[in-house]
Amino acid sequence: MKKTLICAALLAASFTMVSCNQQNSKMDDKPIAQDSTQTAMKIAYVEVDSLMSQYNFCKEYSEILQKKGQNIQNTLQKKGQALQNAANNFSQKLQQNAYTREQAEGIQANLARQDKDLQALQARLTSEFQAEQEKFNKALRDSLQSFLARYNKDKHYSLILSKAGDNLLYADKAYDITADVINGLNKAYKPVKKTAADKKDDKAAAPAKKK
């Protein structure tokens, strides 16, 4: 399983562009061009990489997802290796004429069922893991959008953009509000309470202690 920081790309794609204090235009309003102050746009941006590495929510859930992914990988690898060993053992004994025809067919059918069960397990665990990733990404977007809506009540930015890699060709640091956003998010964030399943994953992912 790869690490689950793919949410950075999703975050950059879904970053909210916030607009405040904009009134609906009316037919009898004066043209906006007559007042230069009305046409000025106040813009800011947030560094996505910094957000992902410094926002406590991201750090905690990235660790949780990484442990879950590692636990899934270990489970599948262990079961896959056991099935491979059984198949190798069957093949070796088959060459030695250790089975009757009926016995060999029965063992082959059993190995085929185990292989099918393993594939079904892999599909189920992968689906569950992807659902967990989607849950994390949604929670991240919701928390960010909720914070920006509150934050912008006083700041009155017309646009708040995401800066990930070189998706912005140029960005003046004067418009960088990353520190404000991270500090605000961390101040409002409450650490995740681990469930019994999470604790089990932590134990399973932890290296065995040498006796």
The model's pLDDT over 119-166, given as tens digits with 9 standing for 90+, comes to 999 999 999 999 999 999 999 999 999 999 999 999 999 999 999 989
0.85 exceeded by pTM: no
For every residue of the chain, which 3-state class applies, written as one string? Answer: CCCCCCHHHHHHHHCCCCCCCCCCCCCCCCCHHHCHHHHCCCEEEEEHHHHHHHCHHHHHHHHHHHHHHHHHHHHHHHHHHHHHHHHHHHHHHHHCCCCCHHHHHHHHHHHHHHHHHHHHHHHHHHHHHHHHHHHHHHHHHHHHHHHHHHHHHHHCCCEEEEECCCCCCCCCHHHECHHHHHHHHHHHCCCCCCCHHHHHHHHHHCCCCCC
Q: Render pLDDT for 68-89 as a digit per residue (tens, 0 to 9).
A: 999 999 999 999 999 999 999 9
Q: Render pLDDT for 28-48 as a digit per residue (tens, 0 to 9).
A: 444 444 454 456 889 999 999
